Amino acid sequence: AWLADLLLTWALARRHGASQLERLADLNLGEMLYWKGDTGGALQLAERALSLQTRFSGSDAMTDDALLVARIQLTRGDREAATAARSRAGDLETPKVQALARIVDLVLARASATEWAQADKDMPAPYVELGIEFALWAARAALDRGDSAAAGKWLGRARQRAGARPAWQRQISDLAAYVGE
């Protein structure tokens, strides 16, 4: 139902020339595809949202859009494009946006296990999806450091936080193969 609603919102906004509604639909649908592991489709929508935001609202109001592009590019392994997108993020005004920026910054900095653990303590609690994503990135970072035990612990947290949410199951199962589960 959520996908049909987002697609309907996107189609209606586009038909009526409501650029901000179209942008929000692109952003939300792009984020959902990103969660589901469809980085190609997610990137196309996220870049479109960023383009609409830049064109109609100016460069000072594109934080969510730029951070989504950065996260997708990191998933795709393109650190250069992720760095460029991160640099486009405007003011980090809300706790959620600050936390998303922190994830990107930790990955780009190749942060230590201690830095990931501290950042986890600082994550805003009310954002379940953010907690899932954070744990998945922390698991990937642990794998990059060669610490499969820590990666397994972070993956367990991601599973616990995700529960039965279908949007995350592909990323969790893909990562489980790398962890050795």
Whole-number pLDDT of residue 15 = 75
Global pTM value: 0.88
- Segment 109-158, tens digit of pLDDT: 999 999 999 999 988 878 899 999 999 999 999 999 999 999 999 999 99
- Segment 36-70, tens digit of pLDDT: 999 999 999 999 988 888 787 665 556 888 999 99
In one-letter notation, the amino acid at residue 92 is L
Contact 48, 14 (CB under 8 A): no
C-alpha distances in angstroms, 158 versus 14, 32, 66?
35, 16, 24
DSSP string, 121-135: HHS-TT-HHHHHHHH
Separation between Cα atoms, residue 33 and residue 84, nearest integer Å: 21
Separation between Cα atoms, residue 150 and residue 142, nearest integer Å: 6
